[in-house]
Amino acid sequence: MKDAAPQTIYLKDYTPFGYIVEHVDLTFKLHPTATRVLSKIRFTPDTSTSDKMFFLHGEQLKLISAKIDGQEISPSYVEGGLQADVPDTAFTWEAEVEINPEANTALEGLYMSNGMYCTQCEAEGFRKITFYPDRPDVMSVFDVRIEADADNTPVMLSNGNGVSKGEGFATWSDPWPKPAYLFALVAGNLIAHTDQFTTKSGTEVDLAIWVRPGDEGKCAFGMEALKKSMTWDEEVYGREYDLDEFNIVAVDDFNMGAMENKGLNIFNSSCVLASPETATDGNFERIEAIIAHEYFHNWTGNRITCRDWFQLCLKEGLTVFRDAQFTADMRSEPVKRIDDVIALRARQFPEDQGPLSHAVRPESFQEINNFYTATIYEKGAEVIGMLKTLVGDAAYAKALDLYFERHDGQACTIEDWIKAFEDTTGRDLTQFKLWYSQSGTPEVTVREEYNGETFTLHLSQKSAPTPGQDEKHPQVIPVAIGLLNTDGEEVQPTMALELNKAEQSFSFEGHTTRPIASVLRGFSAPVILKQDIDNTRRAFLLAHDTDPFNRWEAGRDLARDSLLGAILEGAPHNAAYLDGLKALLCDETLDPAYRALMLGQPSQSELAGVIHKMGQIPDPAAIHTASEALRDAKARAFADMLPDLYAKNQVEGPFSPEAGPAGKRSLANAALALVTRLDGGATASQQYAHADNMTLQLAALSALIDAGKGASALQAFYDQWQSDRLVMDKWFSLQVMHAKPADSATVARTLTQHADFEMKNPNRFRSVMGILAMNHAGFHHQSGAAYALLADWLIKLDPVNPQTTARMCSAFQTWKRYDAHRQSLIKEQLERIATQSNLSRDTSEMVGRILD
Ligand code: 0A1
Ligand code: ZN
């Protein structure tokens, strides 16, 4: 049997499956190298469709036997599955196949992780478990029986509700029709942290987080996050949970963050396990968000799923948008918004402005696993945010009620989603839909005019061509604005202007003094704003803008321009920026987490992107030097207040991961990083010695490495944590992240030779190679050593785990920004990868698109 050969699949070619799957019965006889899977599936011809070809997907399966209505048959193998002659009335398909979970290092289908059986079926992994129409529009109810050696595998879990269990077996039944990508099975020696939740209509739900023995002390936070998510979805979206059980499992070997399988969410252990000693505040916040994300998928993804994989943003964009709302409600709305915009600019903008640019709903792909991207997730969420801004909160809520009511139990398209909004509001959203089909980041230019009475904003929009899309049409862009007077008072509260033409003007009457505009408040659209304003005006907005996002953005713009001046013209850093920032840092009416964000500056890779957009060639070494110099300048300018800022933001008492104390720690740690530039690491040493939580310990260790004094603390950290896998990932990452540009490749190479480096574990691989790609000046060091090292490892990883290899190829996506020397070094590595024999479909597609 042959796997499917690389081919391009098009949205326009969609055709429904010709059969309805009435019921699926699966029996698993688990064995590490020879698991048997017996399937019994009831099919009925779908009279509403014409295509009656009976094709079942299947890859890497050994067929033992196949029957139709009890009669043994010999199906014919075709690429990617099999075909059979079937009756034209209802029939029962039975098959027995054998699979080898232990050999499955790709972590897709049924695999083993530390002696535990585990599945990952999204997007197309179910076909590696048994023959099936593995497509999201085929939904069915599943009954599952699991049999295994009772001593080694006492716990056996699947979707839905547990029906029965005994020595060596368990049975599960999921009453909700679901596509195969939501199937899950986990079995092994696991321990549960349990709790209960009562839904608003009074159903008692048993909750459990299953972990390997030894990790049970790291589940309490995840469980609280789950209960908060369940309550929030009831209160905000009116969505209740719909089974008697909800199980979460932590798995060490996992390609992504987590997976929303019906009733049995599977998590990368890094995204669920946490204790104050082992997890940072950032980890806690991420865990809370991912638990919420997977839980929210129960309605936006599972009850209403996608018709085909082109519609992936239907579930992902919406669910990311929902989890962001949740985090904003649980924590701080402005801080969450700023964090998300930083991430969007760091991950989605480069993607949308380079060779991998694709629409939120792409029109073709080769390997769907390559489309779990920042564009589909994060830009997809931005599109929902814009829709909500355009129709207003009340209409958004009504449209969602209609969407849930109309489409529950269905596999849907973006057209269905948009129609719910059109029917709710009476608006024609045809032009808005361009956000789903047009790739690239639009640029919005603002020009101001004032005549003593009327203040006018002239807005225009433009999008550069992207791969496959030379011509762009004007989109509907909500531009939220506010106007301030010179005392910093709002004379026009926030309102959304609707820019839907190439050029448009918006006038505000009755302003006898010239107002000061605050444009794109809250980052109301995922665009690049071009506004010709000077530093005085930015400093004014930094001091006075009533929109917390734009106030932060004003500081960010000042920092960026100061850095650009230093990089491109050798100019000194901007004193007005440092003065304005100092005033803010001392302002105790402001949330410490917000002040910590203010202290940040654009990343080196973001600066490289900006310089490239200006039509110049970024020099990674010069960007690094200027970024460090700005940090030094901050340390000197704030020297008199940093000790006080550090001291005032120490948190007393027992550790709490809540937003309040976490915000204080982030400000204190930001102050520590600057203080270290002045005291050579004295304060960091003290913090390291007394740290009783990972947030403080890791920040102190980072500061010590930066001061060139990390050696003994790194050894102490290793000795303390060597048996904790997740903490050891941090130990690996930190060294690569803080390596000096010329040393990065050597540091990373040495770490790959460490006894604890495991290429098969995606977290560990990423903690060295993923971080190497993020150390901008190190990765782009002119020697090309880091490019070659990453390529070496991608070549080694590809036969083991194509999905993770392919994702990490995106480290090279920005290669055309750089000078000819670096371009030729990168091209050489990309070509070396591309010409490997037996390169996976995943990696070959990615490298091909990047080189194109
Ligand atoms: N649907 C999951 C993420 C996920 C996607 C793909 C995977 O394998 C290719 C695994 C997980 C989510 O959005 O959380
Ligand atoms: Zn998701």
Please tell me the residue having the least CA distance from ligand 1 atom 4: 259
Helix (H, G, I), strand (E, B) or coil at 512: coil
Tell me which ligand sits closest to the C-alpha of residue 119. Answer: 1
Residue pair 97/130 in contact (Cβ under 8 Å)? The answer is: yes
Distance 295 CA to ligand 2 centre (A): 9
Distance 503 CA to ligand 2 centre (A): 36
Indicate the pLDDT class of residue 375, thresholds 50, 70 and 90: very high
Residue pair 87/68 in contact (Cβ under 8 Å)? The answer is: yes
Please tell me the residue having the least CA distance from ligand 1 atom 3: 259
Please tell me the residue having the least CA distance from ligand 1 atom 2: 259
The stretch 831-849 carries a mean pLDDT of: 97
Distance 300 CA to ligand 2 centre (A): 9
In the block, residue with structure tokens 């009756």: 87
Residue pair 669/695 in contact (Cβ under 8 Å)? The answer is: yes
Tell me which ligand sits closest to the C-alpha of residue 265. Answer: 1
| Predicted confidence (pLDDT) at residue 4 exceeds the cutoff of 80 | no
Lining residues, ligand 1, CB within 6 Å: 120, 122-123, 255-260, 293-294, 316, 369, 372
Q: List the catalytic residues.
A: 294
Which pLDDT score is estimated for 52?
80
Question: For a substitution probing ligand 1, which of 183, 372, 376, 842 has the most ligand atoms within 8 Å of its CB?
Answer: 372
**Other beta carbons less than 10 A from residue 53's beta carbon:** 11
| Predicted confidence (pLDDT) at residue 6 exceeds the cutoff of 90 | no
Measured CA to CA, the distance from residue 54 to residue 44 in angstroms comes to 11
Which pLDDT score is estimated for 66?
98
Distance 260 CA to ligand 2 centre (A): 7
Which pLDDT score is estimated for 537?
97
Residue pair 620/608 in contact (Cβ under 8 Å)? The answer is: yes
Which pLDDT score is estimated for 50?
82
Distance 318 CA to ligand 2 centre (A): 9
The stretch 313-331 carries a mean pLDDT of: 99
Tell me which ligand sits closest to the C-alpha of residue 367. Answer: 1
| Predicted confidence (pLDDT) at residue 788 exceeds the cutoff of 80 | yes
Indicate the pLDDT class of residue 215, thresholds 50, 70 and 90: very high
Helix (H, G, I), strand (E, B) or coil at 768: helix
The stretch 469-481 carries a mean pLDDT of: 98
Please tell me the residue having the least CA distance from ligand 1 atom 11: 259
Measured CA to CA, the distance from residue 610 to residue 564 in angstroms comes to 9
In the block, residue with structure tokens 């596999």: 411
Helix (H, G, I), strand (E, B) or coil at 68: strand
Question: Does the bond joining 123 to the residue before it have cis omega, within 30 degrees of 0?
Answer: yes
For 618-638, how does the pLDDT look when each residue is reduced to its tens digit (9 = 90+)? 999 999 999 999 999 999 999
Which pLDDT score is estimated for 49?
87
Cα 29-35-36 angle, rounded to 5 deg: 60
Indicate the pLDDT class of residue 51, thresholds 50, 70 and 90: confident
Please tell me the residue having the least CA distance from ligand 1 atom 8: 122
For 240-265, how does the pLDDT look when each residue is reduced to its tens digit (9 = 90+)? 999 999 999 999 999 999 999 999 99
The stretch 669-694 carries a mean pLDDT of: 98
Indicate the pLDDT class of residue 3, thresholds 50, 70 and 90: low
The stretch 164-188 carries a mean pLDDT of: 98
Indicate the pLDDT class of residue 2, thresholds 50, 70 and 90: low
Query: DSSP per residue over 377-445, as a string?
Result: IIIHHHHHHHHHHHH-HHHHHHHHHHHHHHHTT-EE-HHHHHHHHHHHH----TTTTHHHH--S--EEE
Which pLDDT score is estimated for 787?
99
Distance 151 CA to ligand 2 centre (A): 35
> What six digits make up the tokens of 190?
């696991």
The stretch 772-791 carries a mean pLDDT of: 99
Report the atom number in ligand 1 closest to the C-alpha of 254. 10
Helices (H), 308-361: 312-330, 333-343, 349-352
The predicted complex's ipTM stands at 0.99
| Predicted confidence (pLDDT) at residue 1 exceeds the cutoff of 60 | no
Residue pair 789/768 in contact (Cβ under 8 Å)? The answer is: no
Report the atom number in ligand 1 closest to the C-alpha of 301. 1
**Other beta carbons less than 10 A from residue 540's beta carbon:** 18
Question: For a substitution probing ligand 1, which of 110, 120, 182, 256 has the most ligand atoms within 8 Å of its CB?
Answer: 256
Please tell me the residue having the least CA distance from ligand 1 atom 1: 259
Tell me which ligand sits closest to the C-alpha of residue 182. Answer: 1
Please tell me the residue having the least CA distance from ligand 1 atom 12: 259
For 695-749, how does the pLDDT look when each residue is reduced to its tens digit (9 = 90+)? 999 999 999 999 999 999 999 999 999 999 999 999 999 999 999 999 999 999 9
Q: What is the chain's mean pLDDT, rounded?
A: 98
Question: For a substitution probing ligand 1, which of 108, 111, 118, 122 has the most ligand atoms within 8 Å of its CB?
Answer: 122
Distance 315 CA to ligand 2 centre (A): 7
Question: For a substitution probing ligand 1, which of 229, 259, 261, 319 has the most ligand atoms within 8 Å of its CB?
Answer: 259
The stretch 546-568 carries a mean pLDDT of: 98
> What six digits make up the tokens of 188?
């092994």
For 259-301, how does the pLDDT look when each residue is reduced to its tens digit (9 = 90+)? 999 999 999 999 999 999 999 999 999 999 999 999 999 999 9
